[in-house]
Structures are given as C-alpha cells and as structure tokens.
Chains A and B, each alone.
Chain A
Amino acid sequence: MSSKPVIATASLAGCFGCHMSFLDIDERLLELIELVEFDKSPIDDLKKFTRPVDIGLIEGGCCNAENVEVLRSFRKNCRILISLGECAVMGGLPAMRNTISLKDCLEEAYLNSPTVAPEDRVIPNDEDLPLLLDRVYPCHEVVKIDYFLPGCPPSADLIWEALTALVQNRPMKLDYQLIKYD
C-alpha cells in the first residue's frame, strides 16, 4: 500500500483552527482517504514518524524550542512542506507579541496584570515547559518551506485544492475567492 502519498500534520503555535478547517472538507474526507495515507498527525494520533512522508502540513509558527524541534523533524521527514494558515505563514496572532520583549510580555501576563491574584504572581517555570523564543517566527524563517496557504483559517476548499493538486501532480488552481488572509 506504499504507493499512496503519505501526509503528516502538526500544530505548532496555532489554535488548531487550521486542522478544523482541514476537517471541514466534509464528505471529501472519504475521497481523501482513498487518495492518501496519514502518518504523524493529530488526526490519527500518531506521535512519531513511521516512514518517509510526501507532504507535511504545518499549522502555527514557532514560539518555543519544542516548536522548532518539531518543525525541523518535519523538514527532515517530509519531501514537501506546507505552511498552513496565517500563523505558520507570518506568525499570526501569537506574533503580535513580537514588538514587545519576552520579559515584558511574561511580566505583564503573570505578574502585573490586574486579573492575576496576588498569590498567583509567578512566571511559569517548570522544567517540562519548553523554553519560549524571543519572538514568534514564521516557519520559513526556520526551515525551507515549499508552499504557503494563507488564511485564518485557510478555507477547506483551498486546502482541498492544494492537496489534490499536489497528490495528482498538477498545478494548483487558485481562484480569487480561495485566497484570504482572514
């Protein structure tokens, strides 16, 4: 069965909205399963790569060291890598912190904000938490990205068109209404 193209997906600093939009292809999901197989992805809950992957879909930018690690492993294991959605493409809403220093950000969120109870005033610092990056990085600033699908989220139709075009090895047909940044 290895003749079917293999797909992997991940959500980095995103909200899973792009994955939701992916599922929004509705009944075409059945068609998709005929066309491809899934490897590492929240969709099938596979945690590790089990084989070489043809198409990797990345939702979200990189806001911590773990995101970078996952993204790099995707680059290593995927032949084609796609930035899916505004956060992957340009950092998205998480990147709105990019104009503020990380220290100020954390202090505002966990120490100085009026909604923080006095006894809770502590910056989370557990060894299990990945270290935050100084700012949020669009994926293509960290690894080479082959395709970009903007949108918040990208519409199901755009995801469908892009995936089927790649799988069928034909050029994408991107109608005006398919490309939106919101």
Chain B
Amino acid sequence: MPEKLKFSIDGREGLADQGMTIYEAARVIGVYIPVLCHYEGLKPVGSCRICSILVNGRWLASCTQPLSEGMVIENNTPQVIEYRRAIIEMLLAEGNHFCPACEKSGNCELQALAYRYGIMVPRFPYQFPQRQIEAYPGFLLDHNRCVQCQRCVRAIQTEDGQKIFAMKNRSKDVRVNVDRKLAAKLSPDQIQKAMDICPVGAILKKEVGFLRPIGQRKYDRQPIGSEIEGKK
C-alpha cells in the first residue's frame, strides 16, 4: 500500500497517493487545475506554465511538481488566476490565432481556456508573426496556431522511439519540426491521434473538417474542466 499524502487546495482538504503530481492529486478531489501542454498518459514537460500554482509563496508548475505531505496549495486565488490569464493571453498574442477561420474552433483547448478565464482581449499587443503552413501526406501543420506544447513530440513516435515530431530552433523561433520520411509512414490512425492530441488547430488531418456543427462542439456549452469539477 503506497502511503497517502495529505494536502489542501484553496482550503479544500484531500488525500492522494505518493508519487502523484499536484495536478493529478487535485483531480482526485475534483479540483481542476488548467493545463494546456499536459496530456493524460504523456510525460509532463511543464512548457505552457498555465498550471502554475502557489505553495508557500513559491510558484510551481502543478503538472511536473510532485505532491508532498501537507502542501497548502493556492489554485483559484486572485493572484494565481491573474498570472494564469496573463499566460493564456501571451499565447493568444504570440501566435496567429484567427478563431473564425480555424477548424479546431469550439474544440480548441487554448480557446476553451480563454473562454473559461473570460478573456475578451489579450493585454499584450498581437505579434502577428510570420509562420508557415506545411503539407504532409495525410495532414497539415499550421505553425500559426502552434503553442509549442510538445504533445505531438511526445505522443507520436516510431516503434523504435524515433521522433517524428521534434523541436527545432530556439527562443521565439522554436518550432515543431517534422521528419518528412517518417511522417510519410504515419497511419491514418496515427494522424488522427496527432490531430486529437494537438490542443489547438496546428495539426489537421486532410479531407475532414468542421465535423461537428456549432453548438455541439466540445466547449460550446460547458467550460473546459467541467468534467473534472463535476466529479465528487
């Protein structure tokens, strides 16, 4: 039996298994900590920082930080919400996110987070960066929308662990780089998985789109995170 750890989030107390991250522990007690780069089943990389929380005056990324005994966590406090909003706004300003023209609109996690936090306009000036759209057999990669979360890098690899998607360049120019040869061998299922796992509309399977009508899309009616908050 693994030892259970005691913790609290915004005054709500809970118990969780040792070895869990703060994000996972929060889920256990039905508390939603928003994440964008993290995806169930993938090794967390702490890249988006939207899951930042406060513990004893220290900022930590809850997707990578292991829970420890007695942690007192601030999640939905004004300061945490303020910083979180700012990071979401940074992402909106950094790329070219033209929601009305995006197939992922309504199912996009970045957009859903912006809705959840009631963002009407980012506080930061839009950067309008020059980015490319690349075509591969079976899918498109639209760098305008990419948020460098590395989900595709982690989730879609060859059987012997070679990276089909890898990060290229650095700083503001960091991009997902596709191995053309390996990408040509992706099965339709793998492409579907890549598209589903992409939180935004950067990876798009060719020949399908706008499958669900407005009003029935994932985040049309319920805010992201409701599924976790609904439990318990």
Contact = CB atoms under 8 A, between A and B. Distances in A.
Contacts of B144: 99
A177 B128 contact: no
B21 interface: no
Interface in B114-137: 114-116, 118, 120-121, 125-126, 128-131
Nearest to B99: A181
Given A93-B98, A182-B105, A182-B106, A141 B120 contact: no
Query: Chain A interface residue count: which class?
Result: 20 to 34
Interface stretch (A69-77, A111-119, A145-153): A145-153
A89 B120 contact: yes
A176 B224 CA distance: 11
Given A148-B120, A180-B115, A96 B101 contact: yes
B95 to A, nearest CB: 11
Nearest to B129: A99
A99 B145 CA distance: 13
Contact of A138 (B99, B106, B126): B126
A56 interface: no
A172 to B, nearest CB: 10
B8 interface: no
Interface string A96-113: 101100000000000000
Interface in B57-94: none
A102 to B, nearest CB: 13
Contacts of A159: none
Contacts of A60: none
Mostly, the B contact residues are: loop
A96 B102 CA distance: 12
B188 interface: no
A96 B116 CA distance: 26
Interface residues of B, number: 27
B128 A140 contact: no
A176 B223 contact: yes
A148 B121 contact: yes
Contacts of B120: 89, 147-150, 179
A152 B125 CA distance: 20
A51 to B, nearest CB: 29
B111 interface: yes
Given A148-B120, A181-B105, A92 B100 contact: yes
Nearest to A86: B100
B98 A95 contact: yes
A138 B120 CA distance: 13
Nearest to B102: A182
B229 interface: no
27 contacts: A89-B120, A90-B121, A90-B126, A92-B98, A93-B98, A93-B101, A96-B96, A96-B101, A98-B96, A98-B128, A99-B96, A138-B121, A147-B120, A148-B120, A148-B121, A149-B120, A150-B120, A152-B99, A176-B221, A176-B222, A179-B118, A180-B220, A181-B105, A182-B99, A182-B102, A182-B106, A182-B214
Given A141-B125, A182-B99, 18 more contacts: A86-B98, A86-B99, A86-B100, A89-B120, A89-B121, A90-B121, A91-B128, A92-B98, A93-B98, A93-B100, A99-B129, A99-B131, A140-B121, A174-B118, A176-B115, A176-B116, A177-B221, A182-B100
Interface of A: 83, 86, 89-93, 95-96, 98-99, 135, 138, 140-141, 147-150, 152, 174, 176-177, 179-182
